[in-house]
Structure formats: structure tokens, C-alpha cells
Structure 1
């Protein structure tokens, strides 16, 4: 079980620190949680010595989710800030009172407990987000709130992704994510809006309204960034929402390319043979996805995080956002047909690069399992 010590009044991402801790604890498998306790209340409500571990956490600090998860699996451990201030502990029933007093600054570390900082408790490598980044642990008050939210938002970002998502969207997405969290907008609401933009962009492309369609398409890609970040910072992601979001991401690009080809004919700029160009773009998209799955099946690792080059190439490989850049350049130049031809050529080039990556990984595996450069 767990106790959240304190009653921090500062709200972040539309919720109290105690509520965020409760959600983080639930994700770590700790569902029996008491919130907003002081030292006396923790001591009075200490469990009997039934062999259970008791997790105590101060709510005037913000913890990376991995810290809570790793602490919940630990035993007889005190977590401190980098400056050495105790902010959380997991102890047996006999040490609950002493640990609570320690966390409130009124006592020393009980004998026999291991004392660690964030780096000593959790790894800096995050496989799910494809990056290496030290877990955060920050004090929360009115003065630190802006910096805390910026750090939390940065922590929700994937480290290996396309260049638009990585370099263009973060600043505006932070502001929109903060607004959504403060107004009770859920990630699924954002995803539904992105689906509407998918359909509107497709309709615009179909009629040859390329620039209008691109505005909606880029709006969709922006919301695709926001919904995931909103889910992570508010800890409201669900399996169904994840399937909904990623399902849209996976399915819609070929339909956009098809609509673009129809639109080219509608404005008198048909490609010849158009069916071949469309087949290259769509088949290349599907084959690249299959290559990614094959790499995971063969090597237990994502193709984009094996070596430093592989992560760099993910910035520009022929996926939706880099392809949209090519289509946008063509539309702005008044030659949307050349934009689609560029997508076809870049799809072939990207497919060849990923094929070489797989062929290089086959002999490399003989020396042992492949390990991401981010984990080394």
C-alpha cells in the first residue's frame, strides 16, 4: 500500500500533485493509496506487521513515472533528490512511522535502508520512447511550476521520430497540451478531432484543393502530437485510446496519396502512368511498415534505434510528415504532380536504405543480441 504525504496546493496539468501520484501508483500496480496525509496520520494508520511493503511519497515533488514504478518494486529503499533530500521511501511496516518523520524533515534515515538518487534507482534509457534521458525528480511550487511542466512535457516526447515532430511541433504543442489539460479536454477528444481532419484533408485532396488540404493535413499531424503528449502528462492513456490513435496513424496515409492522385487529374496535372506512381508510394509505405515489424521479429529491436545512423534516418525516412513536406513544396510551387513524384522517388530510396539495414543486422547478430546505441 502507499501513503501520499502532504497537501501541495499547486496544480499541474489540471490536477493536484497527489492525484497525479495516485495515477502513477496505480500504473505501478499500487491501488491501495491514502492521499493528503501528515506524519501523525501516517503513523496512526500504519499497517500491522503483515509483511507488506509500504510506499511513502511526498506530494511537493514531481516524480518521473519510472521512478515510482521502480520504487514500487524495490525493498527498504529511500529515494532522495540529487541534493540528498529524502522524498520517498518503501519500507516494512515497522519502519513506516520513522520513514514518515524522515520525509517530513523530522528524523534521520532508519537503519538498514538503502539510500539512492534518481539515477541510482532507474535507468536513463527509455525503450518505449526511444531515448536516453535521466528520470526527472523536481520540487513543485508556484515558482517552479512552469519549469516542471516543460520538463514533464519534454519527458513525454519520443527521442527518435521525424524532423517535424521533433523540431517544429514541441513549442506550440506544449501550449496546446497545457490548455487542453486545464480545460478537461481528453486525449480521445483530440484524436477524434484529428480523425475529422484526416477526412477533410482527403476530401480536399480529392478535389484538387491541395493547399487547403495541406492545412488540414498538417493540423492533423499536430493534433497527433498533442493527443499522445496529453495522455502521457495527465496519465490518462488507455489501451483502447492507444489502438484508436495508432490505428488512424497507420491507415490514413495511403488514402491521402490516393486522393492526391485523383486531385491531380481533377486539376489537369495527371501523372502518366498514375497507377504506377500510386502503387510505388502505397506499396512502399506498406513494405516499410513490414520491414519495421520484421526487424523487431528477427532482432528484438526497433530498426530506428539500433545505431546512431538509424535514428538519424528516422528523421527523414519516407513516412507521413517527411512526405507531406515534399507534397507541400510541390503544391507551393504550383506543381503538386512533382511533389507526388518526389514522394515516389524518396519512398524507393527509403525502402532500399531499410533493406540494407536489415541485411547489415543479420551478420551483426552473430556476435550477440543487437543493442540500441541509446542503451549503451
Structure 2
């Protein structure tokens, strides 16, 4: 059982602090959540102050650690606790009124700061980052939402997603949250744009197709961030989003090759050769990444700093779109696709080298991500 303490009117991403805490508790396996009413209900209690914003990992790990008080690292102020029914009323009163943990409670319960409670390595987002714990006030809200949005970003991704999209995506994500749009709505709009880009490429209308494609890739960033900051991710949403991401890129490249004749160009080396390389290269790269995870239990792109750097530019959708966009603006979409095909082959070779190097390194013991060190 969990209870929220206090009534903070400040809204985060369009929701109250109490609602955010409720969603965090539910996602951590604590399905019964209420405002603290002074009653212990005869069960252990997860108590959380609404005037603080908790990284999701803190709530999840605190739910697994009965007999614990969580305090702010800077001032040692108590902000949350997981305690027995016998201690609940006393601890709730402390959280509601005290700026320190009394000596008698500190002697009976563990007192932990965020770094002691939770790991700084986020496996799902492929990055090392200290869990955040922030005091929620109207003045601090813009910086808090900026920090939360940054925390929703993958640490290892492509150059466009990492360096170009964050600022506009944060504002669009906030707008979607305030309007009540769900991540699946955003993904649905992206799916329509993905199909529109496919048709435009196949017709040889490359610049309009690129416009639709780039907006789709932008929304592909927004939907995931919206799900994380509003705590509305779901199994179906994950399948919907990642299923589209997984399937559509080679169809885009196929449509691009098919549209060259309509635009008055021919494919260097021939269309059949281009399509074979595109499909074989795409499938092979996915198989290489899957093999690396299965064989070494870590993501290929998180092993060493070079591997994370190469993920910025490897022959995935966004880096390939950069090549095609620049070539099309110069009036040569055919040369753009030829360069993409070259880059696909080159990246296949780099990934093979990474696998061989990992095989050699694993002979000395299991390999681990530099981010988890």
C-alpha cells in the first residue's frame, strides 16, 4: 500500500504531483494508492511527499526496501519512506513536518540518499545518470521538466535524435501532454506520415517525401518521451512504436530506388543490386546487434566509447536520411542512394569487426559496458 503526503497544486506534464506518484507506484507493483489519512491500514506503507519529484527508479527501488527512509542528498531532508504499519503514523508525521530524521527513527530504520538506494546505470536507456530527486515548486517547474525530459532520452542513439531533436521535442511533448494526447495517438500520426513518405518516394517526389519522413522521425522521438514523462507507456504502445521502427526503413529505401525512374534518374549499379544490398544489409545489421546481445549480454553500442560514437552515424534510418536529404538538395537523389548503399556495406564491416573484437576480449572474461563501470 502507498500513500501520498501533502497536496501540491503544481502540475507536471499536465498532471498533479499526486497523480504522478500514483502512476509511479502502480508501475512499481503497488496498486493501492491513496492520500495519507492518518490510518496505517494494518499494512506496510510506502509514503511519498508530493512536494518532491522522484525519478521512477527511486520509487521502484524504495518499494522493494521496507524499513527505509529516503532523504535528499544535499540537506538530508526526509522525502519518502517504506515502513511497517507500526511505524507508519510516526514516519508520516515526520515527513509532513520535519526537516531532519529524528535520532530514534534513524536508529531503527535505514536512512538512504538516492545514490545509495538506486543504481546510476539505466540499462533500458543505455546511459549512466544519477537518479533525480527534486523539490517541486512553481519557480523550479521549468527546470524540473527539462531535467525529466533529459532523463527520458536514450544515452546512446543516432546523431539527429541526440543533438537536433531534444529542444523542439521537449516543447512538443509538453504540448501533447497538456492537450491530453496519448503516445499511441502520436505514433498513429507518425504511421500515417511514414506511409505518405513511402508513397511519395515511390512516385519520385523526394523533397515532399523527405519532409513527411523527417516529421515522422521527429514524432518517433516525441511519442517515446511522452510515454516516459507521463508514465503512460504500455506493452501495446511499445509493440506499435517499435514495430513500425523495425519494419519501415528498408521499404523506404526500396521505394526510393523505385521512384528514381519517375524522377528521371537511374540507379548506379542497377536496381536489383541496390535492393539486394539494402535488404541484406538491413537484416544483417539487425542480426549482428541481436547476436551481440545474446552472446555477450550487453548492447553492441554500449560496450566501449567507440561503439557509442559509431551508433551516432551507423547506417540506421536517420543517418541515411541525412545522406539522402543532402544529395537530393544537390539535385542527385540517385547518388544519395548509392552513398547509402556504400555506407550500409561499410557499417556491416565495422559491426563484424566489433563482434570479432568482443569474441577475443571475452576469452579473458565477460565483457561489460563502460557505462556501468
Say whether the fold is shared (TM-score over 0.5). yes
Equivalence for 1:174 = 170
| Secondary structure of the structure 1 residue equivalent to 2:363 | helix
- Number of aligned pairs? 367
1:30-109 → structure 2 map (5 Å cutoff): 30-35=30-35, 37=36, 41-42=37-38, 45-48=39-42, 52-82=43-73, 83-106=75-98, 108-109=101-102
2:344 aligned with 1:352, yes or no? no
Equivalence for 2:7 = 7
2:226 aligned with 1:235, yes or no? no
Task: Give deviations 1:176-221, integer Å, cap 9, x for gaps.
Answer: 0000000000000000000000011011111111111000000000
Shift of 1:265: 1.1
2:158 to 153, 157, 162: 162
Shift of 1:347: 0.4
Q: How far apart are the structure 2 equivalents of 1:370 and 1:20?
A: 37
Shift of 1:366: 2.0
Contact residue 66 and residue 82 of structure 2 kept, 8 A: yes
Q: How far apart are the structure 1 equivalents of 2:257 and 2:117?
A: 53
Task: Give deviations 1:76-104, integer Å, cap 9, x for gaps.
Answer: 11111122110001111111111111111
Shift of 1:225: 0.1
Unaligned runs of 5+ in 2: none
Farther off after superposition, 125-134 or 52-61: 52-61
Q: How far apart are the structure 2 equivalents of 1:314 and 1:168?
A: 15
Shift of 1:370: 1.6
Equivalence for 2:337 = 340
Shift of 1:112: 1.0
Q: How far apart are the structure 2 equivalents of 1:323 and 1:231?
A: 26
CA RMSD, Structure 1 to Structure 2 (Å): 1.0
Equivalence for 2:325 = 328
- Structure 1: 4+ residue segments shifted above 6 A: none
Task: Give deviations 1:140-193, integer Å, cap 9, x for gaps.
Answer: 111111111000000000000000000000000000000000000000000000
Q: How far apart are the structure 1 equivalents of 2:101 and 2:201?
A: 67
| Secondary structure of the structure 1 residue equivalent to 2:80 | strand
Contact residue 67 and residue 110 of structure 2 kept, 8 A: yes
1:290 to 271, 287, 291: 287
Q: How far apart are the structure 2 equivalents of 1:130 and 1:108?
A: 35
Equivalence for 1:143 = 139
2:267 aligned with 1:267, yes or no? no
Q: How far apart are the structure 1 equivalents of 2:200 and 2:41?
A: 63
1:365 to 344, 362, 365: 362
Shift of 1:307: 0.8
| Secondary structure of the structure 2 residue equivalent to 1:128 | coil
